């Protein structure tokens, strides 16, 4: 059965209180909220529609740059979640498959959960399935209202709920599976007779019941997965949940995390066995770390980093978009950006790859071949290549390529003035 995803990302995100960034582009460890949702569906859907509206251009640019298979559909003005989904109707007039609807602000959902949700929908021969979960504190979520026989009745939003309904702990996760040809006509029949004057997507449940369609709920056990991001507080909490989940995965796979409370590692980082991650290390974006490495304490990997086996990235070292080959040490207080480091390279404390020209805004590459040794406090002014086995003396400012096995030294000769101090005192 063909599956297409519709991801709602047009809302203003008022509660984020952000002027510059649309809600779905706020990030958790280097990846946007929307990115998480797109990554979780891209392996099993044939097409993704992202509904954009508020800051549409930015969201569209992001989707185009990172997810070439996804298409954006403009919703303007934004009249509610039901109105948002109706924007895809012209594209799916004759579509006979399944439509999976998700919100761009729910990044913790797992791919496996979505697959199980769709399997449930299929096995029940369901026309419409909504994902629900039980929250101890259900405030702000839509409540699932059931009939006396426990079958679904409708969803009531917080703002429309009476006291009795507010006490219900089963909430709408905002994720739906639709037998499209059976449900699509609902979108021309939604009404705005609710507290927010919006077209609510949630009303398709009662609509489906009225049409005598097969409507079901899939109750998710791990309610963390549908935690929605509406505020900066939610964003911090979601980052914590995500991080805990990631660290547990690494530890189970044989990575030592010395202090899980102060270590942050993104979902898209791979780490080999017997690597040790020391406290206060922050690893964001997509990275690959080999076996038997030592990372940190206080290291910062900013994405696009490949670290091979037996590498040391020590304290206060920042690495971005670089490859560090096996048996190489970057021990202390260094910045390695847009660089390629060979094997058995040693980087002295305080070495900087000067990769960025702020006038031209151009970033350039530093290449250090196998067995290169860089003395402490050196600056490698990119673009620059240091060929195999060459040494750079401490304090070197390297603006030209260095040939293999040679010494590059930029120091002025050391002068020692004998008895200088004594002469000052006797004056």
Interacting span for ligand UD1 (CB under 6 A) from 195-203, 316-324, 349-357, 401-409: 195-203
Q: Which is nearer to Ca ion, 226 or 386 (CB)?
A: 226
- By a kind-dependent CB cut-off of 5 to 8 A, residue 311 interacts, out of ligand UD1, Ca ion, none, with none
Site residues (CB under 6 A) for ligand UD1, limited to 56-75: 75
Nearest to 97 by CA among 118, 112, 116, 82: 118
Question: Which two tokens mark 226?
Answer: 């549908």
- Is residue 205 a contact point for ligand UD1 (CB under 6 A)? no
Site residues (CB under 5 A) for Ca ion, limited to 105-124: 105
Q: Which residues of 162-171 are buried (b: 16+ CB within 10 A; e: fewer)?
A: eeebeebebb
Return the HEC string of the chain.
CCEEEEEEECCCCHHHCCCCCCHHHCEECCEEHHHHHHHHHCCCCCEEEEEEECEHHHHHHHHHHHCCCEEEEECCCCCCHHHHHHCCHHHHCCCCCEEEEEECCCCCCCHHHHHHHHHHHHHCCCCEEEEEEECCCCCCCCEEEECCCCCEEEEECHHHCCHHHHCCCEEEEEEEEEEHHHHHHHHHCCCCCCCCCCCCHHHHHHHHHHCCCCEEEEEECCHHHHCCCCCHHHHHHHHHHHHHHHHHHHHHCCCEECCHHHCEECCCEEECCCCEECCCCEECCCEEECCCCEECCCCEECCCEEECCCCEEEECCEEECCEECCCCEEEECCEEECEEECCCCEECCCCEEECEECCCCEECCEEECCCCEECCCCEEECCEEECCCCEECCCCEECCCECCCCEECCCCCCCCCCCHHHHHHHC
Q: Which is nearer to ligand UD1, 34 or 333 (CB)?
A: 34
Q: How far is the CB of 156 from ligand UD1 (least distance, A)?
A: 8
Q: Which is nearer to ligand UD1, 201 or 390 (CB)?
A: 201
User: Could you confirm whether 332 is annotated as catalytic?
Assistant: yes
Site residues (CB under 6 A) for ligand UD1, limited to 8-47: 8-11
- Is residue 396 a contact point for ligand UD1 (CB under 6 A)? no
- Is residue 228 a contact point for Ca ion (CB under 5 A)? yes
Catalytic residue (one of 54, 55, 83, 332): 332
Q: How far is the CB of 228 from Ca ion (least distance, A)?
A: 4
- Is residue 331 a contact point for Ca ion (CB under 5 A)? no
String of contacts with ligand UD1 for each residue 147-186, x by CB under 6 A: --------x-x-------------xxxx------------
- By a kind-dependent CB cut-off of 5 to 8 A, residue 375 interacts, out of Ca ion, ligand UD1, none, with none
- Is residue 55 a contact point for ligand UD1 (CB under 6 A)? no
Residue of 3, 51, 308, 313 that binds ligand UD1 (CB under 6 A): 51
Q: Which is nearer to ligand UD1, 37 or 349 (CB)?
A: 37
CA 322 – CA 325 distance, rounded (Å): 10
Site residues (CB under 5 A) for Ca ion, limited to 251-310: none
Q: How far is the CB of 18 from ligand UD1 (least distance, A)?
A: 13
Q: Which is nearer to Ca ion, 230 or 364 (CB)?
A: 230
- Is residue 81 a contact point for ligand UD1 (CB under 6 A)? yes
- Is residue 142 a contact point for ligand UD1 (CB under 6 A)? yes
String of contacts with Ca ion for each residue 54-93, x by CB under 5 A: ----------------------------------------
Q: How far is the CB of 277 from Ca ion (least distance, A)?
A: 33
312: Cα separation from own chain's centroid: 26
Interface contacts to ligand UD1, rule CB under 6 A: 8-11, 51, 53, 75, 78-81, 83-84, 103-106, 141-142, 155, 157, 171-174, 200-202, 228, 230
Q: Hey, which residues are catalytic here?
A: 332
Query: Interface residues with Ca ion (CB under 5 A)?
Result: 105, 228, 230
């Amino acid at each position: 059965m063909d599956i297409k995803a519709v991801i709602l990302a047009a809302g203003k995100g008022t509660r984020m209180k952000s002027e510059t960034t649309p809600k779905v582009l706020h990030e958790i460890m280097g990846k946007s909220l929307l990115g998480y949702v797109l990554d979780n569906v891209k392996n099993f859907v044939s097409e993704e529609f992202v509904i954009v509206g508020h800051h549409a251009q930015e969201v569209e640019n992001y989707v185009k740059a990172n997810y070439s298979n996804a298409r954006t559909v403009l919703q303007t003005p934004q009249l509610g979640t039901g109105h948002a989904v109706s924007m895809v109707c012209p594209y799916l007039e004759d579509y006979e498959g399944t439509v999976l609807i998700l919100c761009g602000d729910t990044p913790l959902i797992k791919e496996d959960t979505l697959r199980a949700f769709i399997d449930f929908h299929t096995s029940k021969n369901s026309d419409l399935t909504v994902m629900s979960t039980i929250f101890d504190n259900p405030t702000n979520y839509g409540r699932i209202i059931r009939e006396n026989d426990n079958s679904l009745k409708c969803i009531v939003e917080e703002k429309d709920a009476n006291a009795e309904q507010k006490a219900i702990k089963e909430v709408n996760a905002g994720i739906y599976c639709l037998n499209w040809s059976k449900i699509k006509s609902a979108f021309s029949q939604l009404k705005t007779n609710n507290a927010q004057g919006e077209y609510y997507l949630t009303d398709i449940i009662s609509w489906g019941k009225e049409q005598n369609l097969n409507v079901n709920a899939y109750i998710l056990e791990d309610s963390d997965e549908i935690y929605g991001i509406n505020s900066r507080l939610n964003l911090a909490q979601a980052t914590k949940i995500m991080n805990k989940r990631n660290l547990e995965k690494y530890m189970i796979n044989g990575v030592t995390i010395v202090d899980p409370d102060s270590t942050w590692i993104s979902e898209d980082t791979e780490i080999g066995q017997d690597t040790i991650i020391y406290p206060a290390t922050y690893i964001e974006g997509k990275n690959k770390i080999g076996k038997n490495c030592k990372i940190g304490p206080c290291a910062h990997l900013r994405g696009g980093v490949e670290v091979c086996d037996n590498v040391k990235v020590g304290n206060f070292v920042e690495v971005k978009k670089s490859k560090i080959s096996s048996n190489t040490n970057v021990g202390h207080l260094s910045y390695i950006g847009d660089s390629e480091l060979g094997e058995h390279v040693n980087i002295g404390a305080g070495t900087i790859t000067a990769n960025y020209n702020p006038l031209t805004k151009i970033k350039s590459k530093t290449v250090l071949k196998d067995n290169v040794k860089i003395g402490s406090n050196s600056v490698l002014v990119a673009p620059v290549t240091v060929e195999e086995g060459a040494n750079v003396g401490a304090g070197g400012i390297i603006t030209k390529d260095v040939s293999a096995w040679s010494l590059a030294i930029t120091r002025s000769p050391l002068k020692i003035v004998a008895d200088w101090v004594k002469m000052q005192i006797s004056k």
